[in-house]
Structure 1
Amino acid sequence: MSSLFVIPLASARIPLSKAIRSTICAQCRRSFTANAILSSGHSKWSKIKHQKAATDQKKTAQRGSFAKMMTMYSKMYGPDPNLNSQLASAIATAKKAGMPKAGIDMAIARGQGKSESGASLETATLEVMLAPSVAMVIDIETDNKVRSLSDLRYLVKKHGGTVTPTAFLFTRQGRVVLSHKDNNNNNNDPDDAKGNGTADFDEVMMQALEAGAEDVDKDDDGNVVLWTQPSMTHQVAQDLAKTLDLNIMSSDILWSCTSDKVTVDSAEEVDTLANLLSVVQEYPDVQAVYVNAERGNVSEEAWSAVEEALDS
């Protein structure tokens, strides 16, 4: 009779999980622990999404700036770039930055009071409030007021805002920004421009006040800033640009705060405000957005998302 090899009963009592672990080295077992890897991947993806959102906001703000410039030149000097050198230059800059042709065509058409399809445009305003008591005014230009207001009310509600009267916290003002044409004058300071085919700041101020401007100032880049009655804004801009040989950088009718601004101290409230501003500015019929908020105890980086989406 052949002998049989018998496994001792004691060895059969070893738990299966212990038996499996005993055959795997400690280094290999550690590779099965996924928590650190998943956490690292999640953190990296969150960072990528944050960077992409910031890039998208900057791109939206840049395209909005190009669109306003083209609309302004189309309104002032006509829609044909062959007869409008300022418009031609603005179009070239927008194309170089990658702005789609549809966006360029729409901006030019708006300058003529038309949609891209040729329909007449009408204006509307949406007033909004969101935490912490931040008032917002949205300027709209559309060929379908009912549709645009309905869409924007939905976006406002979805992003934590409430549609309610806020315009009484603002006043309408015209603002014109003029710069000098002298390309060799790199500091762009009006006080240094005399003798180079442009006027000095004192002359600009005198001429501007005579033309109907209510106030004259300089911005940080040395550009001339004029404040006017809304009805006189574009006329004052054209007259002074021609008389003083200046470039019109912008000519807008703004909503300016009539009282102290609301300080935003919460990072969560800043995120809510920035997100709402971003989606509203992306809506094609929105022309400008104004708020009565100012940076409080939050980082400069967080607040920059708000500033980039504002028209002020």
Structure 2
Amino acid sequence: MAGHSKWANIKHKKKKEDKRRGKLFSKLSRKIAVAAREGGGDPEMNADLRMAIQKAKDNNMPNDNIERAIKRGTGNLEGMTYESFVYEGYGPAGVALYLDIMTDNRNRTASEVRHILDKNGGNLGSNGCVSWMFQRKGELIIDLNEFEVGEEELLLEALEAGAEDLDYGEDEAVVYTDPSNYESARENLEESGYEFKSADLAMIPDNTVSLDKSDAKKMLRLMEQLEDHDDIQDIYSNFEISEELITEIEAEEN
């Protein structure tokens, strides 16, 4: 169970859906507003805004919320002014952490993120300390319980759609694309009838760090607290936890 793509499978079991959705909508609104401010309010002319809107729609965010976020970004509605940047650091067992941040107060956010890391066996690092361990890719996750398709067939369809690679697992398949081909590959696969559990640009680790039970518990606790922080848009990491260990930890907590 690798750090980024599988974190969603863990966290939904640990949070109430209404609380999670409210926080998610807030983060998506920020993403849309920043994209609109930096590239204009027309999604046809602004790829970042177009993808932010698509991500909001993927998560069933109402159109009224999307429109308000765009207007805040373009200055047609009053609201907070957010800046976006990246924090890099480490978690338990030297796990790499790459955090996409959007905040209206950089100093406050730095202090709060540093506190979360410090109390959970991690630390904030300098710019570039872990980014070299990741590659930005398009990531399209298909639920194999919803779509019965073999690995070879899906790989051929993905490559024809413009993807680069496929990670085929027991319950889900992850299609990877070059960032420049992400939107077209997604559209081509949707035209072939596929829907996605998750679809976005992501930072994919070149290698992973396998965690034992003690470090896995610490890492999951850290991920929950980072996820809860309003200013952290996305968390990318290179930890790996086996399915068996996840099940064991969940049994102990319930």
SS in 2 for 1:247: coil
Distance 1:218 1:149, change over 3 A: same
Deviation digits for residues 133-187 of structure 1, max 9, x if unmatched?
Answer: 222222223344443233212222233311122222222221123579xxxxx85
Deviation digits for residues 21-80 of structure 1, max 9, x if unmatched?
Answer: xxxxxxxxxxxxxxxxxxxxxxxxxxxxxxxxx99833379548965997799954896x
Q: For the Cα contact (< 8 Å) 2:139–2:177, is it kept in 1?
A: yes
Counterpart in the other structure of 2:148? 189
Counterpart in the other structure of 1:205? 158
Deviation, 1:292, is 2.0
Q: For the Cα contact (< 8 Å) 1:135–1:292, is it kept in 2?
A: yes
1:129 aligns with 2:99: no
* Number of aligned residue pairs: 216
1:256 aligns with 2:213: no
- Structure 1 stretch 113-122 or stretch 248-257: which is displaced more? 113-122
1:265 aligns with 2:212: yes
Structure 2: state its 5+ residue gaps: 1-10, 33-42, 44-48
**Alignment partners' CA distance in 1, 2:159 and 2:88:** 37
**Alignment partners' CA distance in 2, 1:78 and 1:253:** 10
Q: For the Cα contact (< 8 Å) 2:28–2:52, is it kept in 1?
A: no
Deviation digits for residues 240-299 of structure 1, max 9, x if unmatched?
Answer: 42x33443442222222223x3232252x3333222211111011212222222237x94
**TM-score where L is the length of structure 2:** 0.61
AA partner of residue 85 (structure 2)? A
Counterpart in the other structure of 1:233? 182
SS in 2 for 1:156: helix
Higher relative contact order, structure no. (Cα contacts within 8 Å, ≥ 6 residues apart): 2
Q: Which of the residues 164, 167, 185 maps onto 1:214?
A: 164
**Alignment partners' CA distance in 2, 1:244 and 1:65:** 33
Q: Which of the residues 156, 159, 175 maps onto 2:139?
A: 175
Give the alignment's Cα RMSD to 1 decimal. 4.8
Counterpart in the other structure of 2:69? 109
AA partner of residue 232 (structure 1)? N
AA partner of residue 236 (structure 2)? Y
**Alignment partners' CA distance in 2, 1:120 and 1:179:** 37
Counterpart in the other structure of 1:87? 57
- Give 1 or 2 for the bigger CA radius of gyration: 1
SS in 1 for 2:121: coil
Q: For the Cα contact (< 8 Å) 1:207–1:240, is it kept in 2?
A: no
Counterpart in the other structure of 1:41? none
**Alignment partners' CA distance in 2, 1:70 and 1:295:** 28
AA partner of residue 188 (structure 1)? F
**TM-score where L is the length of structure 1:** 0.51
**Alignment partners' CA distance in 2, 1:230 and 1:158:** 35
Percent of aligned pairs with the same amino acid: 22
Counterpart in the other structure of 1:152? 113
Structure 1: state its 5+ residue gaps: 1-53, 93-103, 181-185, 192-199, 306-312
AA partner of residue 215 (structure 1)? D
1:57 aligns with 2:14: yes
